Structure 1
């Protein structure tokens, strides 16, 4: 650690820079060690502590600032050595900020930069962050590393490096964080200078909460959580009172902790105080704060923070139309993670999503569909709008996104008005991009199609092939029980509903015996209280418990809630009888979890079960909870069951 600081001091002196006295004074104190430089390879900046990976690229010889350290004279062009940073007027700064925010590519940012030769220090730091926003490639370097060789960008870095000693505290930190987000070489002139300036200001203990957070994030990326400056910054942060923090300060700290600083739960006490303050300020949160905090709670695994999640969800209702696509995606992901839904939030989505179905980001539309599917929410306006847009936008979606959107429709068992066009488009995507589908995504898609009574048999035959089975086994998730159940139900659907199919069949070793299983299942367990009430009514109706069987596993993998057997003359047989059974009645005692959460609409997996049982010869009698709960006494229960099970026969009194 001390060696690192000594190297940096030597470097600054070699470059002709004035070394801050505070750095000289603390040269013997341990500091963070530098990240090793690697060429043309991707390597993680720290193992286990953050998912972020860094691509350090060998720089072009023309690259001046962000590459390896060079003599000071090489960095100055046209003999200009004075400061080149100027303060724009407030109006000019606002115009520049607006234009910068509207840039949708790094080339636009660089063109804008060339048109503003004189920038304020804050605007210069903002340019680095905007480039990072546009160029970061899922945590593995930049999409286009060559942009770092741009002359205008190098000149901007030169300006920041020259004026680092007189920059405001927050600009120094923001510039350093921007450098790490652009994966600049830790030993470049600019980064070394900014780290040194940050150390001096950190020693003075004058950095704001937001600056401490930004500095911690930057040094975490450069040197890991054991860095001395990171610990120093976090100690100063812990000495502050979270109850006095503004929402912007809270967001900064949440973002910092979620970036990897809280690994191992080292700041749990601070986090608990923050959650309490965030709950107090929830009603004041803007869209950025709501999405950032919800995303951080998920990353930080704050399972005990459900009251805060609920409060933020209520606040999100006000902001649905103002969220950016990325913010709405983060909010929906968090609500799915915590298993929370809100009636008013759903209504806000139903007003907003149909307006943006054709223009919103593909991942946002997919996340909306996932949210409604997993929360069992039947939203006709959203489903219709997304299905309509799918016909025109399918090429924009990844194969996984295509699969997830159809899966949501299958979960709810909802057939959109123009289903023919929708599934024609699905089949077109399958034909054009079949080889791009991951095995699990393809199986999910085909299974969802069968839930909606659509049968893409050309692709079903490929799923049953030994080659596809091998692919499924090799995939990360492997052949878990849900996959085998989906394959079995797909096989049964083709057997029962597609008699003209003559392709390969699913091998017996891949078939399950029952669709009912703990956790994820293709059937929903009967609700105990509702079942008990129906069972009592059946005893009164039939005269004895022996005349019906409960929870019967059929040879066709489905479990019957209640089975009643009749002989040829229509008399009820004891449940133990095997011979002389002329008719079997399957009672489906459907509790709330077998329906959409917001409608009396049976879920897709329950609809296909009842459809298959009818094809197999069962008389299916549905006992929905919303009808049964209206019955007031035993007499009404018996009359109701008689009308349901024996609608054409006279009831005997026992």
Structure 2
């Protein structure tokens, strides 16, 4: 056959658009069809049948499925031609015809398959590695449930040259075969056959992880099952090879980790620190909170910690803080780590700070190590290193944690010159998984409930914690616009009495603000500031004027707004207002109707969004709200005689507000009341990656963030993904947020 004739027929078969067209080209031109054309024709038939099964239009009304195609005379003629000339085919044609027949879905008992299998068995010794691999794959697909003699023949050849196997399908079919063999041996007591089979599986798994770059979901499940079955036979070298695989590292193998937690304590002494660090890194990445496995790592660290480098210790300690888990031997482990850090603190500053951060997340504060970390020598060493910025971030957060949680510490502290925000934006994991987060649903529901000016999203609060949603709510349940938080009234006269609860709350706030003055970026004092004690100044400047990041948005001091209001336009003097639901505010307004959306606020107007009524979305209008100003949606009032307005009060009468400070009782001559106590509320959307795997325990960094925000005076409202995934649509999300906000107690 000439070269042109061969490739012309090959192109005609490959360009055919129907099963009948392929069969006609092959059966009606027997003199122009060679042995190499038959596997091409079978492969093309498989492609066309797959397209038909996927619902694509057929040509000329042909039937679908291999069963009906087998009954066609043209296909029977094609099979008979292959059977009659099979003995004259070369190895390539035999192997590819068998592979195409398996892909086509022909039954294993068909005459064509039997002839091809017999011919392959007789030539098996002359096949190369690729041919044996294709024959094994074909026979496994043709006989998935019953053992076949050709499988055993191919298996012995593949096992001898397993390191040369490169075909992913063959590797996974080998795993499937070994799984069937392991299931057959499960009913028998432990024997040498099981041990040999497990070792073969382990060898195959190591080779598969080294050769395959991507897996489908069912292949990952098969690999996880095989790892759980054979990993107890793994030694240090095998475990190192498994955990060093990038494919294994990127995919979570829970069954394998659960099984490893049972036998790893018996082998921990024979593992190297590098292998144990790889295990710890994998467990931390996938948030696998397996107590027995974590305790094994802790025991390994306790026994061999003095021999390890600081960089290895930080990798072994990190899973504890990541999973928010205190090991069972923490009373012995933590003092041992303190002693090690005292000796090796200067050798690796970044590793030292990482270990300290892990211990802080577990609420353990090593005082002696803190003396070294905050010492001038350590700081000087850090500032001259290439990783100075990241260490400064960690040191700033450690300094804040000491201020909030370790009040008994009396040693050196971080110099204010080196303090920076830990994070200036959302965490990398939150940004990468934003499209899978429920934060967008909550943001839209919150916008419709309270308006865009009444919450902040992704606000970074000192010492560098990114909050999902931040709201300001007063005691009456009113959500206040963040740019116009009511100012605290002036200090009461000396004879005015204050309730014990208010005194206690004020003293706690003053103590907190006094301690946080060193790391919180308060507004600078000016010579024109009103005279008073240091505590009152700090209380007035605590957190409402914080800048989340250098150059970022700041909370505007509400005193700038309230001190410019006259008595007639103050909260108490407004005689009428309009109560509108958020849906009414967001809808189109008719001509002449005042805008009630937050964006329509003028400089002389304060809009309040009371939870008690607005969250119920009741649409009502009241002519006046005497005595209930906190439940009214304040509208703008026209001033007919601006020249008769009383002059604005002095700065002394309107000190900057303190969100946590209660408003004191007022005397009859103290003037209009400025504001009442304000509660700062953080809505925390806890997505799936904020928890340990298959657990309701927050990861360590998230738990410490929540702990510190509470100590800073914020009220946290947790929105777990287990509740949010049951919410469908904006209306249900709004109802869910209503319930959460109504549960707040001030």
**What TM-score, normalized by structure 1, do the two folds share?**
0.52
CA shift digits 1:364-385 (9 cap, x unpaired): 4333222211111111222234
> Residues of 2 paired with 1:288 and 1:473: CA distance?
52
| SS of aligned partner of 1:630 | coil
Alignment of 1:416-435 (within 5 A): 416-434=327-345
State the shift of 1:505 in Å.
0.7
Write out per-residue CA displacement over residues 116-142 of structure 1, whole angstroms, 9 at most, x where no aligned residue: xxxxxxxxxxxxxxxxxxxxxxxxxxx
C-alpha root-mean-square deviation of aligned residues, in Å? 3.8
Judged with a 3 Å threshold, the aligned counterparts in structure 2 of structure 1 residues 453 and 399 are, in CA distance, closer, same or farther, namely same
Task: Evaluate the alpha carbon distance shift between residue 511 and residue 278 of structure 1 in structure 2; reply closer, same or farther with a 3 A threshold.
Answer: same
Asked if 2 retains the 8 angstrom alpha-carbon contact of 1:413 and 1:603, the reply is yes
Query: Who is 1:365 aligned against?
Result: 276
Cα gap change, 1:527 to 1:471, in 2 (>3 Å): farther
Question: Aligned partners of 1:410, 1:362: CA distance in 2, in Å?
Answer: 19
* Corresponding position: 1:556 with 2:467: no
C-alpha change, 1:550 and 1:372, in structure 2 (3 Å) is same
Are residues 1:531 and 2:531 paired?
Answer: no
After superposition, the Cα gap between the structure-2 partners of 1:501 and 1:527, relative to the gap in structure 1 and judged at 3 Å, is farther
Q: Give the equivalent residue in structure 2 for 1:330.
A: 241
Indicate the SS of the match to 1:576. helix
Alpha-carbon separation, structure 1, partners of 2:208 and 2:428: 24
Q: Aligned pair 1:608/2:713, yes or no? A: no
- The one of 341, 344, 368 equivalent to 1:458 is 368
1:162-201 equivalences under 5 Å are: none
Tell me, yes or no, if structure 1 residue 350 matches structure 2 residue 257.
no
Q: 1:501 to 1:297 in 2, by over 3 A?
A: farther
What is the DSSP-based 3-state SS (H/G/I as helix, E as strand, rest coil) of the residue aligned with 1:559? strand
Of residues 706, 711, 722, the one that matches 1:626 is 722
**Alignment-derived partner of residue 203 in structure 1:** none
Q: CA offsets per residue over residues 541-565 of structure 1, 9 Å max, x none?
A: x443432222222243212111111
2:478 to 571, 577, 581: 571
Q: Tell me what 1:168 maps to.
A: none
Sort the Cα spacing of 1:251 and 1:528 in 2 relative to 1 into closer, same or farther, 3 A.
closer
Deviation of 1:506 (Å): 5.1
Give, in angstroms, the shift of residue 530 of structure 1.
Answer: 0.9
The separation in 2 between residues aligned to 1:241 and 1:480, in whole angstroms, is 58
Q: Which has the larger radius of gyration?
A: 2
Name structure 2 gaps, 5 residues minimum: 1-126, 135-153, 179-196, 488-658, 660-677
1:279 aligns to 2:172 (yes or no): yes
> How many aligned residue pairs are there?
391
Partner of 2:688: 592
Q: CA deviation at 1:327?
A: 0.9
How far did 1:588 drift?
0.5
Judged with a 3 Å threshold, the aligned counterparts in structure 2 of structure 1 residues 279 and 316 are, in CA distance, closer, same or farther, namely same
By how many angstroms is 1:457 displaced?
Answer: 3.0
Out of 406-415 and 503-512, give the one that drifted further. Answer: 503-512
Q: Which one of 315, 320, 323 corresponds to residue 412 of structure 1?
A: 323
The within-5 A match list for 1:100-111 is none
**TM-superposed deviation, 1:409:** 0.5
Q: Deviations over 1:186-221 (max 9, x none)?
A: xxxxxxxxxxxxxxxxxxxxxxxxxxxxxxxxxxxx
Name the structure 2 match of 1:440. Answer: 350
Q: How does 1:241-320 map to 2 (within 5 A)?
A: 243=134, 246-253=157-164, 273-283=166-176, 303-304=213-214, 311-320=222-231
8 Å contact 1:614–1:620 — kept in the other structure?
Answer: yes
Pick one of 652, 668, 679 that aligns with 1:583: 679
Deviation for aligned residue 1:497: 2.1
Quote how far apart the aligned CAs of 1:303 are. 3.8
Q: How far 1:597 moved relative to its partner?
A: 1.9
* C-alpha distance in structure 2 between counterparts of 1:466 and 1:306, whole Å: 54
Contact conserved, 1:375 with 1:597, CA < 8 A, in 2?
Answer: yes
Taking the aligned partners of 1:515 and 1:293, their CA distance within structure 2 comes to 47
2:695 aligns to what SS in structure 1? coil
Contact 1:526 1:590 (C-alpha < 8 Å) held by counterparts: no
**TM-score for the superposition, normalised by structure 2:** 0.46
CA separation in 2, counterparts of 1:520 and 1:474?
Answer: 30
The corresponding residue for 1:488 is: 396
The 1:432/1:486 distance shift into structure 2, 3 A limit, reads closer
Point out where structure 1 has 5 or more consecutive residues left out of the alignment.
Answer: 1-235, 255-272
2:742 equivalent among 639, 646, 654: 646
1:514 equivalent among 423, 432, 440? 423
Whole-angstrom distance in 1 between the partners of 2:713 and 2:345? 37
Change (3 A) 1:414 1:544: same
